[in-house]
Structure 1
């Protein structure tokens, strides 16, 4: 029993850490929803950010895994997802209150392919105001539309919820004209997974089929625009003499657009800024912050140890971003 309580406590702390990181990156949906940015809180997907969902709609489907009616409803839910796969709307299933192992087993047993969030501490459930999901409240739906508005929907009628979601949403790159073989690549780029898409995009740009090559060039143009915007933000931070923000912006360009042709200024600015005293101080604090996250993820997160690590971050790296986040947790 003690080990289970420790695991639950550790996961809850990790959720807090991830939420703090997400808040710092403005990863919020609708009026009050903060999706977890910890990869371990997701099944069948990596963390989904606000930037990736800009202009699109999201339906959060909260479900009770112990409910036979919920299990019987999955084919209809997944059918609704398939019917809307060319529309700018995504369904994300959310399980609240169960352990990661229990949710993983449930997803595997029911062969679910949709993204699933493990909401072990019920924080997402509380944010959405759908009530405590249980055998007395087996499923609920929560819609965040393309304009950022949010409202509860009927969890028993997912097709209607997704239809409503699609009405105010739009694609960044319209899928019309994208060959079927390129749809997986298009979805990667559409949802902001630029780096994993780089190799395939390069290959399709060399394809001999005119329609494939044209579609690939259209996707490349979209990525190029995103790179230009990201570089402009980094340059603005440099001009404002905000070395830490500039470093993070160039770092994001380097990571998010790995595999694409980037200007030499990205590497040169990262090297220059890394020698800045303020940046060096921030990086040292961030290193310890990430170590705390890794310890919690490992399941060895005893409350006293986590508290001590937060105190050390605050003491050894005062004034840093990491220290501010550590203070908020304490």
Structure 2
């Protein structure tokens, strides 16, 4: 019995030492989810009521896009990836809302985090998406917005103010509730 107890305690100690040593290792390149680590220089995530941080990204065809290009229009900024099942699941609701309300000024800017233009183009074509998709290939915009999980969505009014933030897949009801608040 005494030998068994010593073996169990030794194993527990070894596991604890390994956990401590592994937790202090790593690079600033990202974590096991592929998302960028948050820099200590970025102190807080943008909050509801804050002005949405502007960003410059590229579309898969190479053209540049800035969030401020859409000032005066309500914007859904949605962070996603092709490998993310909940992201894939929310795309039909986003597409349907975009098609229903784009003529009233509603903008969707789907921000792909960390993937190649060719991979994103294939995904967009496969799902028949018509809303704008931008590439955040290095995760820099996700870092500024403190995106720690995807999908993550920011609902921004025409004045550039964040009116809502949603973690997880958005539904038709979530999008419609937002649009009731911001569309004329």
Q: 1:141 and 2:162 equivalent?
A: no
**Distance change >3 Å, CA 45–CA 120, structure 1 → 2:** closer
Gaps of 5+ in 2: 1-49
How far the C-alpha of 1:112 sits from its partner, in A, is 1.9
How far the C-alpha of 1:152 sits from its partner, in A, is 1.8
Gaps of 5+ in 1: 1-28, 132-136, 171-330
Cα RMSD of the aligned pairs, angstroms, is 2.8
Q: 2:181: which partner in 1?
A: 167
The answer to which structure has the higher strand fraction is 2
Q: Which runs of 4+ in 1 moved over 3 A?
A: 43-52
Q: 1:69 and 2:90 equivalent?
A: no
**Distance change >3 Å, CA 163–CA 88, structure 1 → 2:** farther
Q: Which of 88, 95, 116 lines up with 1:99 in the alignment?
A: 116
Q: Which of 39, 44, 54 lines up with 2:71 in the alignment?
A: 54
| Greater C-alpha Rg | 1
The answer to which structure has the higher helix fraction is 1
Q: TM-score, normalised by structure 2?
A: 0.60
Equivalent position SS for 1:32: coil
Q: Matched residue pairs, number?
A: 133
CA contact 1:43–1:117 (8 Å) conserved in 2: yes
**Distance change >3 Å, CA 45–CA 154, structure 1 → 2:** farther
Distance (whole Å) between structure 1 residues aligned to residue 176 and residue 74 of structure 2 = 9
CA contact 2:90–2:171 (8 Å) conserved in 1: no
- Which structure carries more relative contact order (alpha carbon 8 Å, separation 6+)? 2
**Distance change >3 Å, CA 42–CA 73, structure 1 → 2:** same
